Structure 1
Amino acid sequence: MKTHHIVGVLLAGGASRRFGEHKALYELDGKPFIQYSIDALHENTEEIVIVSQPDLIQQIQQQTTYDVILDEEQFRGYGPLAGIYSAMKHVHSEWYMTLPCDTPYIHSEVLNQLRSYTERYPDKDAIIPKVSGRNQPLIAMYNRRCLPMIEKNLKENCLKIGMLFQAVETVFIEEYEWKHPEAFRNINEKDDLRFS
């Protein structure tokens, strides 16, 4: 099995209940949300895996040449932690750069900065940005060393990603270090787009 240094994990399996339709395929300025994430990841990773859900996977497959997978069956419906786990099981890499499909303001420069912290903190297992006083666990870096603990948490139904940070070596990158903190803004409701 080929081993990569950094693989992009695009999380596109959410229910999008508050948004009213699947966010991954919603278009902003003529481009689906998911494409903004793909474009940013493409510049900073060696391979991209898109983790989706059964009623969306076919539509996404028609829009991309990247692998589109479902969560591992035993953890299907367990949220983003299951998505990260499933990507780690699907493709072997030292680091995994995660990105959700609802951050259309993300861009390559932010992910390039995120990637640089793997060199500064090679012994850390998780590299988590902090923006607006909140952890950003879905725009982050996870080392393959996290896999056993992620699996343990999933089996024990500890699905909050924050629980993982207590069990692995984690570094939080404070907001003042980010050149473009506004790029972390995610879209939960269509009203959020009015302020773009």
Structure 2
Amino acid sequence: MDHNNILGVVLAGGKSQRFGEDKCQVKLGDRLLIDYILSEITDEFEEILLVANNSINFKKSKNITLINDFKKNLGPLGGVLTAMKWVKENNKNYQWISTFPADTPFFKTHILKKFLQAINFDENKLFFIKSNNTRHNIFGLWSIDLLDKLEEDLDKGERKVEIWANSIGVKSIDMHFENKDPFFNINTKEELAKAEEILKND
């Protein structure tokens, strides 16, 4: 599989309601939270699209483009559709988008590589990572062919990634991790404090 056919997409348009402020902009250790995921994926894709609702700070790179959600309050599915529309509107040749959340500081490049290597791209239109019996619905690979169906269902009011993916027919790629959970995500100040402890003991 030619990975030049894949656009990397970081979904950073969430409301961060439980956190109380834009969590991707808080500091964890000496870096912004969003820079952790960017540092792991920036060299893996020709281009990275950062989908947000506001102008945000991040470590700049020549292959990262920041855009706004085309419509607010549609959740992660809206961010996915925004990325797909960007591909079409800019006449890009990407056939797939690989999505990542902005709040998972312990995800590593080798997991992404293992995920992509395990995929038979002719087998399905949507793939998610599953680890230790938990499916991670934002760590996904989405065919651009899903654009019209996704837009139609969003217009009908669908907002939940889990439900939509199941209705489409998603294939899970199973992985297992013994120690630190690379999918630990930060939704609250307490979880940020826990991440600080993990970082100190790493």
> What is the TM-score with the length of structure 1 in the denominator?
0.85
Residues 9-30 of structure 1, C-alpha deviations (whole Å, 9 max, x = no match):
1011111121122111111120
CA distance in 2, matches of 1:145, 1:180: 37
**Equivalent in the alignment of 2:102:** 101
**Equivalent in the alignment of 1:183:** 182
Poorly superposed stretches of 4+, deviation over 6 Å: none
CA distance in 1, matches of 2:79, 2:42: 19
CA distance in 2, matches of 1:183, 1:43: 19
> Does 2:80 align with 1:88?
no
> What is the TM-score with the length of structure 2 in the denominator?
0.82
Residue type of the partner of 2:85? K
CA distance in 2, matches of 1:37, 1:163: 26
Matched ranges for 1:69-80 at <5 A: 69-72=67-70, 75-80=71-76
**Equivalent in the alignment of 1:193:** 192
Matched ranges for 1:54-69 at <5 A: 56-57=54-55, 59-60=56-57, 63-65=59-61, 66-69=64-67
After superposition, the CA RMSD in angstroms is 2.2
| TM-superposed deviation, 1:95 | 1.4
| TM-superposed deviation, 1:148 | 1.6
Q: Does the aligned pair in 1 maintain the 2:103–2:185 contact within 8 Å?
A: yes
Residue type of the partner of 2:74? Y
CA distance in 2, matches of 1:44, 1:179: 25
Residues 136-187 of structure 1, C-alpha deviations (whole Å, 9 max, x = no match):
11111111122122111111111111232234342112343x6877111111
Percent of matched pairs sharing the same residue: 26
5+ residue gaps, structure 1, are: none
Residue type of the partner of 1:184? F
Cα separation, partners in 2 of 1:140 and 1:181, compared to 1, 3 Å: farther
CA distance in 2, matches of 1:143, 1:114: 15
CA distance in 1, matches of 2:175, 2:51: 28
Q: How many residues align?
A: 186
